[in-house]
Each structure stands twice: as C-alpha cells, then as structure tokens.
C-alpha cells in the first residue's frame, strides 16, 4: 500500500516514514502542498495542515476534487470547527497531534479496509421523501440537487437511509461505516453527523436518540 506523507517538519516526517515502512507500507514524503498536489496519487495521504506554501485545507480540497484517494488529516489543530472543516472538504479522518503510532496505523487500515464495501449489497437506489441515495453510483441528492458528500458521509447516510426510523447504535455505526476494530474516538462519529446534517440543510432529518445512537427521521410517520 502506498502512503504519501505531507509534512514539512523533519522531526515528525522522518521517523513516521521509517515506522510506516517497517509496517510494510510504501512511503513517499513531501514537505509542501505543491509537491503533494504534483505527486502521483497513492492509496492514502497523511496530510498536515500547517504547510509552508499552501494551507492544508486547500490541498485537501484540490485533492478531493480530482481524486477519490483516502485522506487522513494530521494536525495540531484540535478544535471541533477545524475537524468539521477538514471533513467537509473531503478528508476521511482527522488525527490530532500528538498521536500514537499504532493508532495511526489502525486508522490507515480502517480507512482503506472500508473501501472494499460492507458485505451484502444494499438496495441500489433508496428514496426517502425528497432524499435519494444511489448505492451503485455512490451519489445522494436532496430535492433533485446532488449532495457533495465525503466517502464516510455517504456511507453514514446510506446506512441510516437503508431503514428510515430505525435507530442505529453508535457501536453499530462505527462497526459498519468505519471498522469492526475501530480504535479512534467516537467523537469522530459526532463530527461526521454534524457535517452531514449541515449538508442536508435540515438538522432534524437525522435524529439523535440520546444514549443510544442516531436514526433517519421517518417522514412517512410525520
């Protein structure tokens, strides 16, 4: 598996690259956003936000516009608003420095493992009120307007839309959308839910079941 490390701090990038190589990854390291955009697309990009030339958010946006490569943002910016911005721009995950190397490897494997699908093939097109989710093309639209969703946002919406009104537990969602052996914080789920609600334009469409999980509002029952 090819990993592109986009990090300008040698003290972080060099040991990180060596560690990933020991884990069997093929690693390329660049120090600027320009180099990252010009590099051949790998399987996974580990993207620092504090780059010397381009803002990491801009690099993320441009990469996502031209590629479906898995992007994990690695940064010292830990505020929720920073996480939401990164996820809205197309990042698949967000890891705050300092972080454990084993956690990083687990997240890389979790992100890439989910690219192969979730087992049984879901219904190709699900319609729920004005919402349409096409599992074959991995596109979703609301009232005829296509939604600009990240990979995880689409998987999350598809899971909830498969059975509107049914409550999905937090553990069930993390296992299905992320990985059965998810090592990251469950806060990641809340960030994705917040971003998805914003893109849907109606925060009440995804309901929180306190202490349990989330469900897509059953419009037929309202």
Per-residue pLDDT of the chain (222 residues; tens, 9 = 90+): 899 999 999 998 999 999 999 888 999 999 999 999 999 989 999 999 989 999 999 999 999 888 888 999 988 776 767 777 777 788 888 888 877 888 888 888 878 766 544 434 445 788 888 899 988 788 899 989 999 998 889 889 988 988 888 898 888 888 777 654 444 556 788 899 999 999 999 889 999 999 899 999 876 544
CATH number for 63: 3.40.50.2300
∠115-89-7 over CA atoms, to 5°?
Answer: 85
Identify whether residues 139 and 203 lie together within a single domain: yes
Number of domains in the chain: 2
> Quick check: 158 and 192 in contact, CB under 8 A?
no
Q: Examine the domain organization and report whether 78 and 10 are in the same domain.
A: yes
Neighbours of 95 (CB within 10 A): 21
* β-sheet with 206-209: strand ranges across: 168-169, 213-216, 206-209
The last residue of a domain, from among 70, 98, 116:
116
Determine the Cα angle at 52 with ends 153 and 79, to 5°: 40
Q: Are residues 160 and 204 in the same domain?
A: yes
DSSP state, residue 123 = P
Same domain, 20 and 106: yes
**130 and 215 belong to one structural domain:** yes
Q: In the Cβ-directed half-sphere of 150, how many Cα atoms lie within 13 Å?
A: 31
Task: Give the CA radius of gyration of the chain.
Answer: 18
Residue ranges making up the domain that contains 185? 125-221
173 and 199 assigned to the same domain: yes
131 and 213 assigned to the same domain:
yes
Which one-letter DSSP state was computed for residue 144?
T
């Amino acid at each position: 598996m090819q990993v592109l490390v986009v990090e300008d701090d040698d003290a972080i990038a060099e040991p990180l690259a060596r560690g990933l190589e020991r884990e069997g990854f093929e690693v390329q390291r660049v120090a600027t956003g320009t180099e990252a955009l010009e590099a051949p697309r790998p399987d996974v990009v580990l993207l620092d936000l504090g780059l010397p030339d381009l803002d990491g958010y801009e690099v993320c946006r441009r990469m996502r516009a031209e590629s479906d490569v898995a992007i994990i943002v690695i940064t010292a910016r830990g505020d929720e608003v920073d996480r939401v911005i990164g996820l809205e721009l197309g990042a698949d995950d967000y890891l705050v420095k300092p972080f454990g190397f084993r956690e990083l490897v687990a997240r890389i494997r979790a992100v890439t493992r989910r690219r192969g699908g979730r087992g049984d093939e879901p219904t190709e097109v699900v319609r729920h009120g004005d919402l349409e989710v096409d599992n074959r093309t991995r596109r979703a639209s609301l009232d005829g307007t296509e939604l600009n969703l990240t990979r995880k946002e689409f998987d999350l919406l598809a899971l909830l839309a498969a059975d509107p009104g049914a409550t999905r537990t937090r553990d069930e969602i993390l296992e299905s959308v992320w990985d059965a052996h998810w090592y990251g914080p469950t806060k990641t789920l809340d960030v994705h839910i917040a971003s998805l609600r914003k893109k849907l334009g109606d925060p009440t469409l995804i309901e929180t079941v306190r202490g349990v999980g989330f469900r897509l509002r059953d419009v037929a029952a309202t």
